[in-house]
Chains A and B, each alone.
Chain A
């Protein structure tokens, strides 16, 4: 064993990323590709009554303008296509920003210019786009992917009525947009009935199956390629309609077409985190034991689908409580379809962790102590004991590193210059997914090792971690390994969302690598020309690219020598079970609130997480610093503003939709890990993690603001005006 798994190995894709050599989907050269650009609806509800494309067609370089009149009839695919309809199949308008035409031209500039020349007339109706304007009361949507929106355990209402202490909170959260730095890009290339997509996809195979369904193609006719991705955060998980429209246009025109969404289009075309309301009630004993959780939420839904993504998972699963009632309601509005956005449960988790903080003040109990008293070793829904859960240790590690015991037990008690200083904390939790995956490992006659699996690296470190796994399993150095991912021509693997990548691919990659190792060892011991000839295979160790007799280190061979003598590459495959599960942690924050300006700075953060075995401490820390900063954006700045009259997004850009910049990131951040392998893991002891370290941050910040100022703000984001 070279023992690379678990070490903070530098990213193997570092060099190509810092030199600009990494080719992202919008960079891939596709000879002869035309450029597409979408014309989108300016009204939120109604229908297209006329489209005049003549001026656009007259623009130099324009090859075609396609509208609903020209589009082939397509099949609305099932999940993970979320939108419920395909635009440009008829005249109906369901939301602002819905595509109504695609302009195809020789250059990007021509396509953009001509798109502005397409004249669309509408019959417009007055839209309703925010929860406050809903036509009727919220309703309970049917189960989404077999998951019900109402869950009851025990009798929560009765338990609440009987509770010694009660807390009630109403929280809200604005619409948010993912805003990966790389806009969605798609290039469709047809060869007869075969389609290749260069696609910003978090799941190449999922995209392949979905687009095949749209065009009624055999799945094997589709290839989807995405070797690098400039961030996804859920926005590039499902297939969206621009990809369908572009592919349809390319088929009609028999030319490859590249289409890149503008930043503004990303605010209506590719999902968002819904506007959200939450009414949460907690019942507890005077000793701080939870007896009832009632959590009713309302999400902003579109008029063409009713999937709810901001699930109240933590209310159901995180704490020991016999009486729970969760209701996830929605209201249908004239907005674009929402979707998964990094740590979807963050929205609802804010209410739970805020209410717990309020309960801690009501009980005059330390909020960490309150959480300890409600800790559980059992899955609250199945009753099964968790095989491995080190949340209590997370509380210990992080509170000690933070210096939590020094906390003043009074709000507004610390002022430093013009700023009030406050401390807050929250538990973190995320349910991660796992998807069937396969891998192959080939040892070439040159001794190089090629790993193939159609997973993705969305920035979380997949390239690096799967290379570490191969290095350890085979006993070869990292620099002989080349990982090929992000292409459906490779062995099938799951999508990179729901923090599922590591949980999905680690096992299959490890098995493929071990099988390749065993095959090469087998060749060596059977080959008279090998110094290892005749040695029992189980007495051969592999290290640094060598095969070594464990009892006589003089007898050794190398991968390169063995395979080159064999004269042809050795290939092995691996697949296997993958299990979803839960990851936990805790976050402590220090905030400084300006007494007169109401501005909030997050100045110090300590986290501790239980994620099973830490595969790579660097990339894991990367998820923490990114997640904490996402939590800061969620808590303090990000919000998409709708104009209630027109239904338009008022701030579809990065200068008025504020995301955290360098100066907003906490200058002091400590990311701790328990690092105990999970015996139940199918991923070498690891669990899925990427989304866990956002979940508690908004509540921890809100709780710290309360500690700093005595002001409880339950409406996110907590912008300056709310603290003046």
Chain B
């Protein structure tokens, strides 16, 4: 992500300081802050500042089609969380290192922070919210509860989506194999032994 505060300082187009736009709040006396002259609504198309136009796309998530307006730079993760209010999918690092954002795209596990929403039109996306069949939990979800395979739950949606794919891929032949193929999902609470047990359980159930 961009974090360098040393950019070129030549950007002056549309730069207007409108110091009276917002008054100091409450009883606190403060100097008026720098406020943008016109704030553009989230979805408004724009080409200013080199930013490409927001566009309307259709995402198929958990069997439902959603029309959503996003700039091309919006990740699938942020589209899910910020535009579709599907906050089950978590952001742990935003750079493909933790696995908290794992979702299924056409059945494959991917890190949704590393893919752009616009790239996933026409794909079937499954998030943790779409795994259960009504009130009936998916066998992996059941196994995670039975085996106490989470503590804080922050990594859990990603672990579960990863586990579903791991089982489908056939990478559950032994505990050692599960340990390796589930190592793309960090659990800082470190419930790893229980995650392995849950994946092994669910694999037996799913694969018979």
Chain A contacts to B: CB under 8 angstroms: 10-11, 13-15, 17-24, 26-27, 29, 39-42, 52-55, 57-67, 69-73, 100-101, 105-109, 112-113, 115-120, 179-183, 190, 192-193, 215, 228-233, 251-254, 260, 262-265, 458-461, 618-619, 621-622, 625-626, 628-630, 653-655, 659-667, 669
- Residue B107 interfacial (CB < 8 Å): no
Most B-side CB within 10 Å, residue of A20, A254, A461, A661? A20
Is A17 in contact with B150, judged by CB distance below 8 angstroms?
yes
B90 → chain A closest CB, angstroms: 7
B interface residues, Cβ below 8 angstroms from A: 1-17, 22, 24-37, 39-42, 44, 46, 48-49, 51, 71, 73-74, 78, 81-82, 85-95, 97-98, 100, 127-129, 131-132, 137, 141, 144-146, 148, 150-157, 160, 175-176, 178-180, 182-196
Asked if A181 contacts B40 (CB within 8 A), the reply is no
CB-defined contacts of B6 to chain A, threshold 8 Å: 42, 119-120
The interface residues of chain B lying within 8 Å CB-to-CB of A629 are 190, 192
- Are B5 and A665 within 8 A (Cβ)? no
When distances are taken between beta carbons in the complex, the residues of chain B under 8 Å from A251 are 25-26, 28
- Residues of B within 8 Å of A40, CB to CB, are 3, 5
Verify A669–B193 contact, CB threshold 8 A. Answer: yes
Contact of A116 among B4, B153, B185 (CB under 8 A): B4
Selected A-B contacts with CB under 8 Å, 20 pairs: A19-B132, A20-B127, A55-B8, A57-B37, A61-B39, A61-B42, A62-B39, A108-B82, A115-B5, A119-B8, A192-B26, A254-B22, A459-B152, A625-B191, A625-B192, A626-B191, A653-B97, A654-B93, A662-B183, A662-B195
A69's contact among B31, B86, B92, by CB below 8 Å, is which? B31
Residue of B nearest to A70 (CB): B33
Interface of B: prevailing SS: loop
| 8 cross-chain pairs, A with B, having the tightest CB-CB distances, nearest first | A20-B88, A230-B154, A55-B11, A459-B152, A459-B151, A116-B2, A17-B153, A629-B190
User: Residues of A contacting B74 with CB < 8 Å?
Assistant: 107, 109
Give the complex CA separation of A15 and B160 in angstroms. 13
Task: List 16 additional A-B contacts (Cβ < 8 Å) besides A19-B132, A72-B30, A663-B179.
Answer: A14-B145, A58-B14, A59-B49, A64-B22, A106-B39, A107-B82, A120-B5, A458-B152, A619-B148, A622-B191, A625-B192, A625-B194, A653-B93, A662-B180, A665-B192, A667-B179
Contact of A460 with B154 in the complex, beta carbons under 8 Å: no
B39 touches A662 (CB 8 A): no
A64-B22, A263-B92 given as contacts; is B190 within 8 A of A181 (CB)?
Answer: no
Smallest beta-carbon distance A269→chain B, Å:
12
Indicate if the CB atoms of B92 and A183 lie closer than 8 Å: yes
In contact, B145 and A18 (Cβ under 8 angstroms): yes
Q: How far is the CB of B14 from chain A (nearest CB, A)?
A: 4
List chain B residues, Cβ under 8 A from A654.
92-93, 97-98, 186
* CB pair B22 A253 closer than 8 Å: yes
Question: With A54-B15, A60-B51 given, is the CB distance from A665 to B153 under 8 Å?
Answer: no
Q: How far is the CB of A620 from chain B (nearest CB, A)?
A: 11
B15:A58 contact, CB within 8 angstroms: yes
A91 CB to closest chain B CB, in angstroms?
Answer: 14
Distance in angstroms between the alpha carbons of A36 and B143 in the assembled complex? 38
**Are B22 and A252 within 8 A (Cβ)?**
yes
Measured in the bound complex, the distance between the Cα atoms of B153 and A230 in whole Å is: 6
Contacts of A661 in B (CB 8 A): 183-186, 192
Given A55-B12, A252-B30, residue A18 in contact with residue B5 (CB < 8 A): no
In the complex, chain A residues whose CB is within 8 Å of the CB of B4? 42, 116
A231 to chain B: closest residue by CB? B152
**Distance between Cα atoms of A27 and B8 in the complex (Å):** 35
CA distance A64 to B191 in the complex (A): 42
Looking at the complex, which one of A66, A109, A181, A630 makes contact with B34 (CB distance below 8 Å)? A66
CB–CB B148/A179 < 8 A: no
Partner among A73, A181, A229, A665 whose Cβ is within 8 Å of the Cβ of B100? A181
> For the complex, what is the distance from the CA of A192 to the CA of B191, rounded to whole Å?
44
* CB–CB B144/A14 < 8 A: yes
Q: Given A62-B39, A100-B5, are A72 and B28 neighbors across the interface (CB < 8 Å)?
A: yes
Residues of A within 8 A of B16 (CB): 57-58
Chain A residues near B7: list those with CB within 8 A: 55, 116-119
Contact between chains at B190 and A23 (CB < 8 Å): no
Q: Are B151 and A460 in contact (CB under 8 A)?
A: yes
A57 touching B36 in the complex, CB below 8 Å, given contacts A14-B144, A653-B93, A663-B179: yes
Closest B residue by C-beta to A669: B193
Instruction: Report the separation of the CA atoms of residues A60 and B137 in the bound assembly, to the nearest whole angstrom.
Output: 43
Q: In the complex where A52-B9, A109-B74 touch, is A57 in contact with B17 (Cβ < 8 A)?
A: yes
Cα A115 to Cα B1 in complex, Å, equals 11
Q: How far is the CA of A11 from the CA of B27 in the complex (A)?
A: 46
Distance (whole angstroms) from the CB of A615 to the closest CB of chain B: 14
Q: A117 and B22: CB pair below 8 A?
A: no
B26 near A662 with CB under 8 A, answer no
Report the minimal beta-carbon distance from A124 to chain B, rounded to whole angstroms. 12
Q: How far is the CB of A335 from chain B (nearest CB, A)?
A: 19
Q: Is the CB of B98 within 8 A of A181?
A: yes
Nearest B-chain residue to A667, judged by Cβ: B175
Q: How far is the CA of A230 from the CA of B89 in the complex (A)?
A: 12
Contact A461/B151 with A57-B34, A62-B36, A72-B24 known, Cβ cut-off 8 Å: yes
Chain B residues whose C-beta falls within 8 Å of the C-beta of A626 in the assembled complex: 151, 189-191
Residues of B within 8 Å of A61, CB to CB, are 39-42
Residues of A contacting B128 with CB < 8 Å?
A: 18-20
- In the complex the two chains form, what is the Cα distance from A653 to B95 in whole Å? 9
Identify which of A23, A108, A120 contacts B78 (C-beta below 8 A): A108
Assess the A113–B51 pair: CB atoms within 8 A. Answer: yes
Query: How many Å lie between the Cα of A181 and that of B95 in the bound state?
Result: 13
Instruction: Find chain B residues with CB under 8 A from A100 CB.
Output: 5
The 8 Å CB contact of B131, one of A19, A22, A183, A232, is: A19
Distance in angstroms from B147 CB to nearest chain A CB is 9
Are A55 and B31 in contact, CB atoms less than 8 angstroms apart? no
- Contact with B188, one of A23, A108, A179 (Cβ below 8 angstroms): A179
